[in-house]
A and B are shown apart, each in its own frame.
Chain A
Amino acid sequence: MTETLVQEPGTEPVKPSRPSGEPLLVVDELTKHFPVRSGMFGKTGLVRAVDGVSFSVQPGETLGLVGESGCGKTTTGRMLVRLLEPTSGKITFEGKDISHAKGAGLRQLRQDMQIIFQDPYASLNPRHTVGRIVAMPLQVNGINPPGGVKKRVQELLELVGLNPEHYNRYPHEFSGGQRQRIGVARALALKPKIIVADEPVSALDVSIQAQVINLLRGLQRDLDLAFVFIAHDLAVVRHFCQRIGVMYLGKLVEIGDRNSIYERPAHPYTRALLSAVPDVTKMGASGRIRLEGDVPTPLNPPSGCRFRTRCWKAQEICATQEPPLTIKPNGTTAACHFPEEGAIK
């Protein structure tokens, strides 16, 4: 089931020049189950981290994946760049099935697909110089760019706003924001077509966070990069992404363009999530939807709609029948039996 791009009549398209041709990346019923042993007698169970997620990304498009911890957004991102092997489902990149690519095919694939990690301290080798870190993807793939590796690396450092003369420095000599820039330079080294960014700014101070978001936005525009941007901060995602997918307990519950998701979401969970964000422009805690309890365990998710245990609209059908992802009247594609309508007040 491929999620369709819907454009509500009468609303401004997010990016008018969006290519309507072949999508760059298509994910179909992607699933990842981790076997776990629990209890004294080694009873085995399955953590259903990602359970049948489908979406597509157009060339040059930015798709955001949001949700609470444990919703499967990071696992999805790691499967996309094949750091994790999918249990089932299909990932198609430029028309090729890459769900189980191996060896040379996988190396080839990673030239087009790169990842930026959350922790700028743990994702850089402390014993390598910045030059070596950024040059590594070129060396691994045996690429000798015109003008030499060093020149290319210095160009990359300049591109991400670092001083190219810092080529011989070590990661510990840089601040958190600068390290994240090094990670971005490394991801750009092979001129990828799509970058999976997993919480790239959540470890940074607010003033530095804005610098890195602006950098990524500039690169996205200038290089026409596609992004899968994984984050829990809904305000950051709104600022970066044209289309947003909301995940809950391993399922995609709603996906749509930015304006529809933030202004008139159909899924109750999306509404609750948005209302919980403390906003600098609002004083006090007015108009908040209170969700009770915690996210249920993915070892034994609720039957039917997984959100029903915390949903104020849940009825009998929600427990017996899993709602399919369908286009709702407000323009988004959502999985809900009783979708909300109208704008958020």
Chain B
Amino acid sequence: MTAPASAPNSPTTTDKDPYLRVNDLRVQFPTEDGVVKAVDGVSFSVERGKTLGIVGESGSGKSVTSLTIMGLHNTKRARISGEILVGGRNVVGMTEEQTRRLRGRDMAMIFQDPLSALHPYYKVGAQIAEAYKVHHPNASKAEAKKRAVDMLGRVGIPQPARRADSYPHEFSGGMRQRAMIAMALVNDPDLLIADEPTTALDVTVQAQILDLLEDLQREFNSAIIMITHDLGVVAQVADEVLVMYGGRAVEFGTVEQVMRRPQHPYTWGLLASVPSLHGDSDADLVPIKGNPPSLINLPTGCAFHPRCRYAGRNGDRSFTEVPELHQVLERGHLVACHLSEADRTKFYAEDIAPSAGVAQ
């Protein structure tokens, strides 16, 4: 554990130096209606060759976190504090020019919608070649083009030399997503952030893309952050999982710990509300009551308390005190919840473990 004393909720699980380290990140957007606290004190780290899954519903702050790491927020509009160390360099406070130099070579991002991330007017190969030339100014046009064709072949596009001269609209959805992955990987980035990379795709294509990311990770030993709302995808690809709610981390651990022995009532709720291919199909799903909170007016205390079945089991702490991440049961498994150890174990054994959503 190398977590600094000033950040008690920093989920650091190994002694190796991780490639990405986020410390107490806060992102706020002042608006006419009030300050939107999109991310409120989140800390995590990712090593090379590992995949961190970030799970949460819309408005949980998962996408804002990733855009902040990439330095894609307008610093005039957003108030950002905390520390984002990418290979030892702090991204927070960097100038536009400095982040641009990191972006592409040190870190790259895959977006959900490839059609809006690719330029409709330029050929796919030319767009990938351009991304290469930004970081290799001395490369000739022919070299860049060759590199682009190489990458297209690498991500599994048939006849890459011919398809490099196609426009994005001539590609199918899965091929566009591959082209975007090729563009993100053209400079061999050390950190790859994938924001819902397969949400718009069919399951068979999703399986191809997830396999591809895994193969490429093995080859380049890059660190991957996989942002998704699909717990099945997380179970499949992640090494560690961070569950976010209302701009804060509520649970962190290895994929085994979070998916098989979840400890936070919100994670329980998520798992119980997902229909599965196994188990009793006639049983009703157990949804989480209510709606995700507004980030302008977060509920006091634990932001999840209005939707929590177990709020108030530990005095009125849930309503007044914001819970900090602390270790439960096993090393590295962190949970932000006021339930006492005994209560949590009891509720888990009685209510949660028998339901279909939790892996047995």
A36 within 8 A of B: no
Q: In the complex, A278 Cα to B172 Cα: how many Å?
A: 22
Binds A, one of B39-47, B108-116, B183-191, B278-286: B278-286
Contact A291 B204 (CB under 8 A): yes
10 pairs, CB–CB < 8 Å, chain A vs chain B: A68-B203, A206-B229, A207-B57, A235-B276, A239-B285, A274-B277, A276-B206, A277-B232, A283-B236, A283-B255
Which of B203, B204, B277, B291 makes the CB contact (< 8 A) with A177? Answer: B291
Q: In the complex, A69 Cα to B202 Cα: how many Å?
A: 7
Binds B, one of A134-142, A210-218, A324-332, A333-341: A210-218
Contact B287 A211 (CB under 8 A): yes
Would you list which residues of chain B between 268 and 321 have a CB under 8 Å from chain A? 269-279, 281, 284-288, 291-292
Would you list which residues of chain A between 257 and 309 have a CB under 8 Å from chain B? 258, 262, 272-274, 276-285, 288, 290-291, 293-295
Instruction: Give the interface size class of chain B.
Output: 35 or more
Which of A68, A274, A280 makes the CB contact (< 8 A) with B235? Answer: A280
Q: In the complex, A262 Cα to B57 Cα: how many Å?
A: 28
Interface bits B214-235 vs A (CB < 8 Å: 1, else 0): 1000000000000001111101
B110 CB → nearest A CB, Å:
17
Residues of A within 8 A of B272 (CB): 210
Q: In the complex, A145 Cα to B357 Cα: how many Å?
A: 43
Q: In the complex, A91 Cα to B57 Cα: how many Å?
A: 41
B23 CB → nearest A CB, Å:
29
A297 CB → nearest B CB, Å:
9
Q: In the complex, A218 Cα to B292 Cα: how many Å?
A: 24
Contact B232 A279 (CB under 8 A): yes
B72 within 8 A of A: no
The interface of chain A, by Cβ under 8 A from chain B, is: 68-69, 175, 177, 205-211, 213-214, 217, 232-236, 238-239, 258, 262, 272-274, 276-285, 288, 290-291, 293-295
Residues of A within 8 A of B274 (CB): 206, 210, 235, 280
Contacts between chains A and B (CB distance < 8 A), count: 135
Q: In the complex, A273 Cα to B334 Cα: how many Å?
A: 36
Q: In the complex, A214 Cα to B283 Cα: how many Å?
A: 10
Contact B291 A288 (CB under 8 A): no
A169 CB → nearest B CB, Å:
15
A89 CB → nearest B CB, Å:
26
Contact A276 B270 (CB under 8 A): no
A235-B276, A282-B359, A294-B175 known; A210 and B259 CB under 8 Å? no
A277-B203, A294-B205 known; A238 and B273 CB under 8 Å? no
